Amino acid sequence: MFGNMADMMGLMGKMKDLQSRMKEAQDELATIVESAESGGGMVRATVNGEKTLIGLEIDKDLVNPDDKEMLQDLIVAAVNKAFENIEPKIKAHLQKATDGVLPNIPGLDLGGFMK
């Protein structure tokens, strides 16, 4: 009887530890940064682990009112690539934060716990 209670208390402790580590990991996501370029480097987008666009650089030669659509396409491409590039860093950061608390379960994606 008391063995089960001790197991339950241990599990509760692990859950509190997991909750604490996940909160800390979430707070640190803003420090993970990734950039990507399009148009041969003429447009550069920078995003963070919170999936927020934090920087956008556009080569001055691209700023042409007559070719607005090309500029828009290059911006979208650079931003999407930066978001694609940040995903593995987010997953690695979350795995590191929960290392030793959760068992290694193949296919377990903790990304859903974030925002």
For the question of whether the overall pTM of this predicted structure is more than 0.75, the answer is: no
pLDDT for 59: 93
pLDDT for 95: 83
Q: What is the pLDDT along the chain (115 residues), one digit of tens a residue?
A: 556 766 767 767 777 878 888 888 888 899 999 999 999 999 999 999 999 999 999 999 888 888 889 999 999 999 999 999 999 999 898 888 877 765 555 665 555 554 4
Closest-CA residue to 75 (of 48, 46, 32): 46
pLDDT for 6: 67
pLDDT for 53: 95
